[in-house]
Chains A and B, each alone.
Chain A
């Protein structure tokens, strides 16, 4: 077990290392980072000063060392636009993003799990086909478009919901729906296949042979076990949601991480863009690590098999 965790942590560190190298490398390969680090319209002298200040005149590996050292201190640089450290900005926006993601997740589970169960119990019937159609639509509709159509219907025509901003629970309904829609489809798909697997297992057959009623077999024996992979995926998806919510946050002017990234792009505020991507990538790598370890704790076959 210790060996397994050590190896996973090793891989995780390697991933983080590659992540930082990739970002570091791409910034330098695509042009002079100084032009990204100074405000637009800066003079030659300013650029030269930036070169010196950030050590861009030093060899690459020294530059990388400096980059990592400042990351290790939690220093992501300072935003040009807001004139505050990027880390502070990130942390101040994170609760909003998590709040939106949590509600969107709840929504996607409320839709995804029951419809997945229904589809698995009635394979090949109406509910199964309806579910398939729903999944396809969920995976094919761009979330920003869903958001725009929602605004058109519920804000412009019906006038029921506020079209942008945050503050009241009413503000949350449309963004959460637009964001959760895609994930509802993914959760439904997984619930269906996981239920089908469990329903075909020996212990469910035994439960049926004992003469238990269908509803009890499904609710007590199958459903509980089928839920494990779905909830694990939901855990990962919660973090992924925070990262992919950028377009939804832009549509609804929701003050979260995605909106911060968008502002960074619009104002050419490079430290913000780099910081948001770095922290987001690191969060996903670490969550994956935690899940790997959790899996190994639950299921010994995983840690022995690898």
Chain B
């Protein structure tokens, strides 16, 4: 079968993804964590015991329930405005998930499209896109995101846009490289002979062959983007208050750290860490399974 596909120049029959994802070293715990965070994000309205944005000033700085002074009414304590920390963490999961996933998708679509166009059309367009990519790569991504966020002002969707246009370069680079070798393959040549237009070839024949790579890059990028969002919110130019973004909670908690109110900054940090760590482990695993070429990354 393998020999035959070589001879008639068809693309390698795409093995069923499930077969490629042989279980065994499947990262179960990270997937469970990400799944739980996703469920919490979806059902935040049902799960959160209190309103995340409105607190009661009489109940400020309550510690978690197991410490003296804590109560089961506020399981993980309250913040400087008397808002329930648990509810804020739950709604914060929604913000991190939405920002993380949409920003990665946006960056992925932008980068993959540019990578395919650059690799397939070549020549002048390739030069222009790759120089642009190089320049973008040369800029410190976070500083650039900070710069953009500072001029457009804080808002959740601005952050998605900013992170999208900051982090597309890696997709463009890697995918262009793949396209360069794909376009020399027989099945692409056959498509040209068969009279397919350039756009049809890029969409129908090239795209399905690079999509695995894009998925792997996207998973690996998810952690980076979540940390970037948290950093921007931490600096006060990300998701605006009173929305309960984890990065914002950390920055609010910073002031009361010195008097030992640890729960205000340690807990949101733990959430960020769990999510990013899980995304990174999953991404590493997918990289090895779906795309052996990316192993050296």
Q: Which residues of A contact B (CB under 8 A)?
A: 11, 14-15, 18-19, 22-23, 26-27, 30-31, 36, 136-137, 139-142, 144-145, 148-149, 151-152, 155-157, 163, 193, 240, 243-244, 246-247, 250-251, 261-262, 264-266, 270, 273-274, 276-277, 280-281, 284-285, 288
**Residue contact B266 to A152, C-beta cutoff 8 Å:** yes
**Residue contact A137 to B266, C-beta cutoff 8 Å:** no
**Residue contact B147 to A11, C-beta cutoff 8 Å:** no
Residues in chain A near residue B273, CB distance under 8 A: 140-142, 145
Q: Tell me, in angstroms, the Cα distance from A157 to B140 when the chains sit together.
A: 35
B142 interface residue per 8 A CB criterion: yes
Once A18-B135, A148-B254 are accepted as A-B contacts, the answer to whether A281 and B140 lie under 8 Å apart by CB is yes
Smallest beta-carbon distance B52→chain A, Å: 20
Residues in chain A near residue B254, CB distance under 8 A: 148, 251
Residues in chain B near residue A163, CB distance under 8 A: 258
A-B pairs with beta carbons under 8 Å apart, 5 shown: A23-B147, A26-B148, A145-B273, A152-B257, A273-B147
Q: Tell me, in angstroms, the Cα distance from A53 to B257 when the chains sit together.
A: 46
Residues in chain B near residue A264, CB distance under 8 A: 150
Residues in chain B near residue A243, CB distance under 8 A: 140, 142-143
**Residue contact A15 to B151, C-beta cutoff 8 Å:** no
Taking CB as reference atom, which chain B residue is nearest A257? B143
Taking CB as reference atom, which chain A residue is nearest B220? A139
Smallest beta-carbon distance B63→chain A, Å: 14
Q: Which residues of B contact A (CB under 8 A)?
A: 131-132, 134-135, 138-140, 142-144, 146-148, 150-152, 223, 227, 230-231, 234-237, 250, 253-254, 257-260, 262, 265-266, 269, 272-273, 276-277, 280-281, 284, 296
Choose from B131, B135, B147, B231 the contact partner of A247 (Cβ within 8 Å): B231
**Residue contact B269 to A142, C-beta cutoff 8 Å:** yes
Taking CB as reference atom, which chain A residue is nearest B149? A265
**Residue contact B257 to A148, C-beta cutoff 8 Å:** yes
Residues in chain B near residue A261, CB distance under 8 A: 143, 146
Taking CB as reference atom, which chain A residue is nearest B134? A15
Residues in chain B near residue A270, CB distance under 8 A: 150-151
**Residue contact A145 to B134, C-beta cutoff 8 Å:** no
Taking CB as reference atom, which chain B residue is nearest A258? B143
Residues in chain B near residue A155, CB distance under 8 A: 258
Q: Tell me, in angstroms, the Cα distance from A89 to B235 when the chains sit together.
A: 21
Q: Tell me, in angstroms, the Cα distance from A19 to B254 when the chains sit together.
A: 34
Taking CB as reference atom, which chain B residue is nearest A22? B135
Q: A156-B260, A284-B138, A285-B138 are in contact. List 20 more A-B contacts (CB 8 A).
A: A14-B131, A15-B135, A18-B135, A26-B148, A31-B152, A141-B273, A144-B234, A145-B250, A148-B254, A149-B265, A152-B262, A193-B296, A243-B142, A246-B142, A247-B234, A262-B235, A264-B150, A270-B151, A277-B143, A277-B144
Q: Tell me, in angstroms, the Cα distance from A126 to B134 when the chains sit together.
A: 39
**Residue contact A19 to B147, C-beta cutoff 8 Å:** no
**Residue contact B151 to A280, C-beta cutoff 8 Å:** no
**Residue contact B231 to A142, C-beta cutoff 8 Å:** yes
Smallest beta-carbon distance B143→chain A, Å: 5
Residues in chain B near residue A193, CB distance under 8 A: 296
**Residue contact B269 to A149, C-beta cutoff 8 Å:** yes
**Residue contact A142 to B230, C-beta cutoff 8 Å:** yes
**Residue contact A148 to B277, C-beta cutoff 8 Å:** no
Residues in chain A near residue B144, CB distance under 8 A: 277, 281
Once A144-B250, A148-B250, A247-B234 are accepted as A-B contacts, the answer to whether A281 and B139 lie under 8 Å apart by CB is yes
Smallest beta-carbon distance B169→chain A, Å: 13
Q: Tell me, in angstroms, the Cα distance from A81 to B151 when the chains sit together.
A: 17
Q: Tell me, in angstroms, the Cα distance from A70 to B281 when the chains sit together.
A: 48
Smallest beta-carbon distance B99→chain A, Å: 14
Kindly list the 8 A-B residue pairs having the minimum CB-CB distance in the complex, ordered from nearest: A145-B269, A243-B140, A18-B135, A140-B277, A140-B276, A277-B147, A15-B135, A285-B138
Q: Tell me, in angstroms, the Cα distance from A284 to B277 when the chains sit together.
A: 28
Residues in chain B near residue A288, CB distance under 8 A: 138
Taking CB as reference atom, which chain A residue is nearest B275? A140
Taking CB as reference atom, which chain B residue is nearest A15? B135
**Residue contact B280 to A136, C-beta cutoff 8 Å:** yes
Q: Tell me, in angstroms, the Cα distance from A151 to B277 when the chains sit together.
A: 22
Q: Tell me, in angstroms, the Cα distance from A172 to B253 when the chains sit together.
A: 23
Taking CB as reference atom, which chain B residue is nearest A12? B138
**Residue contact A19 to B146, C-beta cutoff 8 Å:** no
Residues in chain B near residue A273, CB distance under 8 A: 146-147, 150-151
Q: Tell me, in angstroms, the Cα distance from A160 to B144 when the chains sit together.
A: 36
Choose from A18, A136, A156, A274 the contact partner of B147 (Cβ within 8 Å): A274
Q: Tell me, in angstroms, the Cα distance from A205 to B262 when the chains sit together.
A: 54
Choose from B134, B235, B260, B266 the contact partner of A246 (Cβ within 8 Å): B235
Once A26-B148, A31-B151, A148-B250 are accepted as A-B contacts, the answer to whether A140 and B223 lie under 8 Å apart by CB is yes
Q: Tell me, in angstroms, the Cα distance from A251 to B254 when the chains sit together.
A: 8
Choose from B140, B266, B272, B280 the contact partner of A142 (Cβ within 8 Å): B272
Taking CB as reference atom, which chain B residue is nearest A16? B135
Residues in chain A near residue B265, CB distance under 8 A: 145, 148-149, 152
Residues in chain B near residue A149, CB distance under 8 A: 265-266, 269
